[in-house]
Chain A
Amino acid sequence: MNAMTEIDAGVLQVRDLRVELPGQVDVVSGISFSLAAGEILGLVGESGSGKTTLATALLAHARRGARIVGGQVHVGDQALLSLEGEALRRARGSLIGYVAQDPATALNPALRIGHLLRETLAAHPSGLDREAQQQRLIETLRDVGLPDDHGFLRRFPHQLSGGQQQRVMLALAFVLRPRLIVLDEPTTALDVSTQAHILATLRRLCKSQGVAAVYVSHDLAVIKDLVDRVMVMYAGRIVETATRDELFSRPSHPYTRGLLAAIPDVAGRRELTAIAGHAPAPGRRPQGCSFGPRCERFTAGCAVAEPLLQMNAAGRGVACLAPHDQALQVKALAPIAALKGRVELPLLSVSGLNVAYDRQVLFDVSLQVQPGECLAIVGESGSGKTSLARAIAGLGENAEGALDYAGRHLPLHARQRDAGLRHQIQYIFQNPYRALNPRQTVYQTLSAPLAHFFGVKGAPARERVEAVLKRVSLPGSVAGLYPHSLSGGERQRVAIARALLCEPRLLICDEITSALDVSVQASILDLLRQLQREGLTMLFVTHDLGVVRAIADRVLVLKVGRVVEQGAVDDVLDHPQAVYTRTLLEHSPSLR
């Protein structure tokens, strides 16, 4: 950690920062780093790693219950943690800007955009007169790529798109010309092309204005083109820090390598390896290295003492006793079901499907799914991909068109379908937190469809539940638990188990990994590939082309309710025909 002092004093200096929960349980601890003007730092970690806690601590803020108990944060020559009250309020905003994750909830819906910006300027002494303020405002709007006309300033946040809202957040952060900006996953809710534009804007602004930035993200691929340096967090500690090029070409810490190996890449099909086990909760960290129990290089020495972050002269640091020094090897992977030619009878065929709510969301969509294949449906938000999946599942409303399943007519509403059709077509929801009844144990949730469809109860039901839990790699003891004591990935496994118990032939997955950490996503994708090898047909809805490459045989690209392109995955992703597909591909984050 001494190496930190050798880096010349920059915009941000953090030393030995420690945030605790009651009972002296540390959420983050021993954090020291510094940032130069214009430098962009990527702060990467999975949920629970303490990255958001650290990000807000840079603004001298701790969430309810937590407390910043030690260390220093200097922005310029201002010691932030010693500020209080009015002085602290002024420092936030004028010295450090903050951009929150979800602009839809971060912007006050009752105030117009112009009002929001002017209010921000007025709340801080900028020494600008009215004229200059207006000038600053217009300049900032142009900088972030927003229109600066009067009409735009009169709009309310809900009248803007998600991308525009996030640009307004950027404008609010940049309008005071701070020295540092902290961004907490600002693009997770956005489409890939919007995300790419926002990231480009951010980089340009930071470089041109000399503003340092801390960009928090759970996804290494997203930040690859944005940041200058990366800091990887695990269990509240920095486990690796390196320049971008070094980190991506030669990741040292086993956890960093695990993260990189778990990300599906749009550029090429590769084997995804999940990191086994869970990250420890604060207060339950193991003796020694926190990552030890999940590490394949674990030795007895790792359990003795926590490895310190060892900095080398080049400013690279690793907290590991046995860091890697080789590039990461990725195994290429062949497609799963090499479908040769057309099968006579498609398992599912959709023809002329139209869905309209207050406006039409699907226009005359037709598709076919062959038995045993995985068809990915790709599109940005508003493309109608979820409406399509729901209509096939029988959950859609206002749908028109013809569905055929294994040569039989398939009614559009689930309640008009007979039990045979209902158990053969299963749907897995995007949000694992709402897909399971919180008041039923896993066993209750899983045994209900058994009794309902097959009349299986009692001991045979228990046996089947145990078997299916094993199949989705969950311990049998999970059966007695309620969903709230399961992690997101475990819940999604239970949801998959529920679908499997119905003995489905067609599994519809609606963005089922988008709410999960990358390492968890890798393990779920692995499970799905396994199921596919066992002969399950899948319809996989996603916005992530990397996931498409990892799991699908064929892909169908939707744009505002219309099919723009479809074909075998490698054909479409390597030689896209439609302009839209090409744009999507261009903007998709990739590790290469």
Chain B
Amino acid sequence: MSARRWLAEPQTRKGALITLLVVVVALLGPWLAPHGSTDMVGPVYGAPAGDAWLGYDFLGHDVLSRLLSGGLSVLWMSVAAASIALAVGTTLGLLAGLSRRRLDQFITWSADVSLAFPDLILVLLIVSMLGRAPWLIVLTVSIAFIPGVIRLTRASAVAVAGQEFVEAAQMMGYSRRRILFKEILPNILTPLLVHFGNMLTWGVGMLSGLSFLGYGVAPPTADWGLMINENQAGLLVQPWAVLAPAVLIGVFAYGTNILAEGIGRSSARLGDRQA
């Protein structure tokens, strides 16, 4: 019933549509690409022409083909990173929110310490030490996200835990797990989902940033972030090679953001009518 309620909000529909558009491009792109993503088919930084709408890049690849093939990696990695962060962070945050002092203090303190550390620096540090395998990058990005999820979950859980229906459940003698996952979690799902949308956006940004800095996906694989990095030298000669992937990243970020906001709005509207 939640999904239907969310879709009733125009904002959600708009966000979902935009996000879906980028996802479809990334998913179907490889099949639609006129050339292979690593085929050198034209002049270096060649301008757009009849058969290459977006021109050629620094090695003479067709920009459109690389664009169509390069979305998948950044999308799956950001979705994976955000999902891991959500699962781990929510569990830890719920535990912290409902437990006695010491565990709460430990979890919150650890989260605070890592929050004080700039995300990108943390990721760069880990990647440069341990290597750049995709799963490792996903893991490190999710580690950077976890503290935020913990803080959000804990704060929301504490607010809900003070309400009488949670006390009623405690008085009935329901198990702690049941109280955490059945009474509290459903009531804090909305801020968490909104946060998930934000993490997707940040994830795409961070992954592209990593590629741009040369720590992400290794060349010659096609990747939106990597494309921006590779072609920056020719920005003035052939701007499309940089602009096109940047625009798609931006559109995806915009879409997930709107989607998250729409979900938040539709739930806020259905929030309790207080007397």
Is B171 a contact of A395 with CB atoms below 8 Å? Answer: yes
Q: Which residue of B lies closest to A390 (CB)?
A: B167
Q: Which of A47, A434, A437, A452 makes the CB contact (< 8 A) with B172?
A: A452
Is B275 a contact of A515 with CB atoms below 8 Å? Answer: yes
Is B170 a contact of A414 with CB atoms below 8 Å? Answer: yes
Q: Which of A414, A419, A429 makes the CB contact (< 8 A) with B164?
A: A429
State in angstroms the CA–CA spacing of A430 and B167 once bound together: 13
Is B273 a contact of A434 with CB atoms below 8 Å? Answer: no
- For the complex, is A80 an interface residue (Cβ under 8 Å from B)? no
State in angstroms the CA–CA spacing of A483 and B272 once bound together: 8
- For the complex, is A145 an interface residue (Cβ under 8 Å from B)? no
State in angstroms the CA–CA spacing of A528 and B126 once bound together: 64
**Chain B residues within 8 Å of A439, by CB:** 186-187, 189
Q: Which of A431, A438, A449, A498 makes the CB contact (< 8 A) with B187?
A: A438
Is A433 a contact of B272 with CB atoms below 8 Å? Answer: yes
Is A394 a contact of B171 with CB atoms below 8 Å? Answer: yes
**Chain B residues within 8 Å of A498, by CB:** 168
Is A484 a contact of B270 with CB atoms below 8 Å? Answer: yes
Is A431 a contact of B164 with CB atoms below 8 Å? Answer: yes
Given the interface pairs A415-B173, A427-B171, A452-B172, the reply to whether A47 lies near B164 with Cβ below 8 Å is no
- For the complex, is A393 an interface residue (Cβ under 8 Å from B)? yes
Question: A222 to chain B: closest CB distance in Å?
Answer: 17
- For the complex, is A502 an interface residue (Cβ under 8 Å from B)? yes
- For the complex, is B128 an interface residue (Cβ under 8 Å from A)? no
- For the complex, is A422 an interface residue (Cβ under 8 Å from B)? yes
Is B275 a contact of A47 with CB atoms below 8 Å? Answer: yes
The binding surface of chain B is classed by DSSP as helix
Is B275 a contact of A436 with CB atoms below 8 Å? Answer: no
Q: Which residue of B lies closest to A510 (CB)?
A: B164
**Chain B residues within 8 Å of A483, by CB:** 272
Given the interface pairs A427-B168, A429-B164, the reply to whether A438 lies near B272 with Cβ below 8 Å is yes
Is B164 a contact of A434 with CB atoms below 8 Å? Answer: yes
Interface residues on B, range: 20 to 34
Q: Which of A47, A393, A452 makes the CB contact (< 8 A) with B173?
A: A452
Q: Which residue of B lies closest to A486 (CB)?
A: B273
Residue with the greatest number of chain B CB neighbours at <10 A, chosen from A423, A427, A434, A483:
A434
Given the interface pairs A47-B275, A435-B165, A438-B187, the reply to whether A393 lies near B171 with Cβ below 8 Å is yes
Given the interface pairs A47-B275, A484-B270, A488-B275, the reply to whether A436 lies near B165 with Cβ below 8 Å is yes
- For the complex, is B119 an interface residue (Cβ under 8 Å from A)? no
Is B168 a contact of A429 with CB atoms below 8 Å? Answer: yes
Interface residues on A, range: 20 to 34
State in angstroms the CA–CA spacing of A433 and B274 once bound together: 6
State in angstroms the CA–CA spacing of A49 and B74 once bound together: 56
State in angstroms the CA–CA spacing of A178 and B54 once bound together: 72
Given the interface pairs A434-B164, A483-B272, the reply to whether A452 lies near B171 with Cβ below 8 Å is no
Question: A527 to chain B: closest CB distance in Å?
Answer: 19
Is A395 a contact of B172 with CB atoms below 8 Å? Answer: no
- How many Cβ-Cβ contacts under 8 Å join chain A to chain B? 64
Given the interface pairs A438-B187, A515-B275, the reply to whether A395 lies near B167 with Cβ below 8 Å is yes
State in angstroms the CA–CA spacing of A414 and B274 once bound together: 29
**Chain B residues within 8 Å of A436, by CB:** 165
State in angstroms the CA–CA spacing of A515 and B274 once bound together: 10
State in angstroms the CA–CA spacing of A393 and B182 once bound together: 23
- For the complex, is B109 an interface residue (Cβ under 8 Å from A)? no
Is B174 a contact of A437 with CB atoms below 8 Å? Answer: no
Is A422 a contact of B173 with CB atoms below 8 Å? Answer: yes
**Chain A residues within 8 Å of B189, by CB:** 439
Is B187 a contact of A437 with CB atoms below 8 Å? Answer: yes
Given the interface pairs A47-B275, A429-B164, A435-B168, the reply to whether A419 lies near B173 with Cβ below 8 Å is yes
Is B168 a contact of A422 with CB atoms below 8 Å? Answer: no
Is A484 a contact of B164 with CB atoms below 8 Å? Answer: no
Question: A46 to chain B: closest CB distance in Å?
Answer: 12
Question: B165 to chain A: closest CB distance in Å?
Answer: 5
State in angstroms the CA–CA spacing of A429 and B168 once bound together: 9
Q: Mark A425-459, 1 if CB is under 8 A from B, else 0.
A: 00101010111111110000000110011000000
Q: Mark A409-427, 1 if CB is under 8 A from B, else 0.
A: 0000011010100110001
Question: B186 to chain A: closest CB distance in Å?
Answer: 4
Is B172 a contact of A502 with CB atoms below 8 Å? Answer: yes
Q: Which residue of A lies closest to B166 (CB)?
A: A437
Question: B171 to chain A: closest CB distance in Å?
Answer: 5
State in angstroms the CA–CA spacing of A417 and B172 once bound together: 10
Given the interface pairs A434-B165, A437-B183, the reply to whether A414 lies near B272 with Cβ below 8 Å is no
Q: Mark B137-174, 1 if CB is under 8 A from A, else 0.
A: 00000000000000000000000000111011011111
State in angstroms the CA–CA spacing of A57 and B163 once bound together: 35
**Chain B residues within 8 Å of A449, by CB:** 172
Q: Which residue of A lies closest to B185 (CB)?
A: A439
Q: Which residue of A lies closest to B165 (CB)?
A: A437
State in angstroms the CA–CA spacing of A448 and B183 once bound together: 11
Is B168 a contact of A484 with CB atoms below 8 Å? Answer: no
State in angstroms the CA–CA spacing of A427 and B173 once bound together: 13
**Chain B residues within 8 Å of A393, by CB:** 171
Is B174 a contact of A452 with CB atoms below 8 Å? Answer: yes
Interface residues of A (CB under 8 A from B): 47, 393-395, 414-415, 417, 419, 422-423, 427, 429, 431, 433-440, 448-449, 452-453, 483-484, 488, 498, 502, 515
Known: A414-B170, A422-B171; 13 extra A-B contacts, CB below 8 A, are A395-B170, A423-B172, A427-B171, A433-B273, A433-B274, A434-B165, A434-B272, A435-B165, A437-B165, A440-B186, A448-B172, A448-B174, A484-B271
27 pairs of residues in contact across A and B, judged by CB atoms under 8 Å:
A393-B171, A394-B171, A395-B167, A395-B170, A414-B171, A417-B173, A419-B173, A422-B171, A427-B171, A429-B164, A429-B168, A433-B272, A433-B274, A433-B275, A434-B272, A436-B165, A438-B187, A438-B271, A439-B187, A448-B174, A452-B173, A453-B172, A483-B272, A484-B272, A484-B273, A502-B172, A515-B275
* Interface pairs A-B: 5 shortest CB-CB: A439-B186, A429-B164, A435-B164, A437-B165, A434-B163
